[in-house]
Amino acid sequence: MKKIALLVLALILILSFAAGTALAADVTYVKVTGSVVNLRSGPGTSYDKLGSVTKDTQLVWLSTGDGWYQVKTSSGQKAWISATYSELVSVADPGSSTPQTPSSSTPSGSAKTALVNTNSSNVRSGPSTSYSSLTKLSAGTEVTVLYFSDGWYQVRLADGTEGWISASLLDLGNSGSILVAEKERRQTVRFTHGQVCGSGKYALSSGTAGLIVKIQSSEPFLYEIARTSKGMAFYTDISLSGETNVSSYRASGVSSLSQTDNKTALLFSGSQKLYLGAVPSADGCTVTLTVGTSPLIGHRIVVDPGHGSYAGSSTDPGAVQNGLSERDINMAIGRALLYKLNAAGADARLTHDGPTSLDLYDRAWFANALEADAFVSVHCNSATNNTANGSSTYFYAPAGNTMGWNRSEHQLLAKEVQSELVAALASRNIGVKEERFVVIRETDMPSILVETLFISNPSEAAVLSDPDSQQQIAAAIRDGMANWFAAME
Ligand SMILES: [Zn+2]
């Protein structure tokens, strides 16, 4: 895809972690005015340095000290920043740029609230289930939403406790505005070759998708990725040092790793075509590379298990036939697909993992906010005639419309997945279809909706409910997507 080729050439500014300029009305921010400004553990230069932020980064304002502002970073950490190099900005409504002086010291003003949709929902100390549970909330509890990151919301409870809760456990109403906060963190800038700003060390290890190279520096750094005649190159603005012997990692497909004279590039080559993905940490001081032979490496893919239970009054099981609810089948295939994509080196995310308040528009916006490279919604077909059978894949990109500019890319994604699916299941090939479904119409990136098999047909329902077949369907979708990414490069 053209966009991917451009991304490869573009540079990623990894040190920006704006706390979400698109949050609800009357949120007060500290906007960074210096080019690079330190964050410290207290209001003075004698306090420990916690990190640094760049010009125009916006941080949630918590309080004002003597010439210093207390702020919250994107990772939820509290820190202090000098008022000499920053200014207070109150965002009256999203899109308004009129700065206002905050009139009270209420932390972050009147932020957006949300309702917990499931009993015994864990509030954790960080944005994943590996963090410890701080407390459990019952359904209907109101919380204040502070920040969104990777499917988790940072929230404040009525007693002032702050923690993280899985996005699937919260009902936000119009969640799109929160999801946009994630997008602010992914900026691109031009990068000038030859500038060496610092130094970093890297270490090699094996991952499921190939060679893992973890690069660490004491300061945030810039990088870019490019395909060369010999393989893949990683360029950066710092000087790198580390082990270059890759003989123990031959299974990754990487047969050699070398550095340029000025040590600002890592060059990977192999006997097969290589792919390279880079994931920066939130503070920009660490970048993890995956180098291997799968075209899925480094691509962000959103997987949407169709239907689900919605918070509040409505639930949506999808088609209910032959003792099965479609949403359960979609969820099982979606989870299997997530696992397989990530094992192949992709950066895959689920729109939801169980109970959800996301409607169809939210699911598309979720993928848009994450700037995903591809989107796939997993469904089962259903018909009143229980002999109806077969597999089909939908896309939507009408020619002659602004949505149709990359029609061939959308269409090819559907075609690649459809052909793998039909081959794997030996099912009837209904074909690639174009339909104006919300999730494939509202997504900005190439997107498809897969109708795997008919849940209304007893023999296909038996296949859909079989765990081995669910794995097989997920593998077919993964393989079709891999073929498409290879073709798009
Ligand atoms: Zn469906």
Ligand 1 centroid to 326 CA: how many Å?
7
Ligand 1 center from residue 295 Cα (angstroms):
29
Q: 318 CA to middle of ligand 1, Å?
A: 5
Could you tell me the CA-to-CA distances from 380 to 40, 307, 335, 416, 452 in Å, in that order? 53, 10, 15, 18, 5
331 CA to middle of ligand 1, Å?
11
Assign domain 112-181 one CATH number from 2.60.40.10, 2.30.30.40, 3.50.50.60, 1.10.3720.10. Answer: 2.30.30.40
Ligand 1 centroid to 355 CA: how many Å? Answer: 16
Gap from CA of 332 to ligand 1 centroid (Å): 14
Q: What is the pLDDT of residues 106-161, one digit of tens each?
A: 233 334 677 888 889 999 987 778 888 999 999 888 888 766 665 677 788 988 88
How many angstroms separate the alpha carbon of residue 352 from the centre of ligand 1? Answer: 15
Q: Rounded mean pLDDT of 20-30?
A: 46
* CATH of region 300-488, choose from 3.40.50.740, 3.90.25.10, 3.40.630.40, 3.40.50.150: 3.40.630.40
CA of 338 to the centre of ligand 1 (A): 18
Instruction: Indicate the domain borders of the chain.
Output: 23-100, 112-181, 199-292, 300-488
C-alpha span between 279 and 286 (Å, rounded): 8
Residue type, position 284, single letter: G
Under the banding of pLDDT at 50, 70 and 90, the label for residue 379 is very high
Q: How far is the CA of 333 from the centre of ligand 1 (A)?
A: 13
Q: How far is the centre of ligand 1, averaged over its atoms, from the C-alpha of 410 (Å)?
A: 20
Q: Ligand 1 center to residue 379 CA distance, Å?
A: 4
CATH topology of 23-100 equal to that of 199-292? no
Residue 382 Cα, ligand 1 centroid: separation in angstroms? 8
Once rounded to an integer, what is the mean pLDDT over residues 332-337? 97
Q: What is the pLDDT of residues 1-18, one digit of tens each?
A: 434 333 333 333 332 333
CA distance 76 to 483: 39
Give the global pTM.
0.63
Rounded distance from Cα 404 to ligand 1 centre (Å)? 24
Q: How far apart are CA 479 and CA 476, in angstroms?
A: 5
Instruction: Please give the Cα distance from 427 to 419 (Å, whole number).
Output: 10
Band of the pLDDT at 412, cuts 50, 70, 90? very high
Question: How does pLDDT run across 63-97, given as a tens digit for each residue?
Answer: 777 778 888 876 667 888 888 888 877 654 333 33
Is CATH 2.30.30.40 the classification given to domain 23-100? yes
* 233 CA → ligand 1 middle, Å: 42
CA of 314 to the centre of ligand 1 (A): 16
pLDDT for the residue 295: 97
Q: For residue 358, what is the enclosing H or E element? A: none
306 Cα to the center of ligand 1, angstroms: 6
Beta bridge partners of 286: 216
Topology of the domain covering 199-292 = Immunoglobulin-like (2.60.40)
Q: Which two tokens stand for residue 393?
A: 């894949």
Map residue 177 onto helix, strand or coil.
helix
CA of 151 to the centre of ligand 1 (A): 22
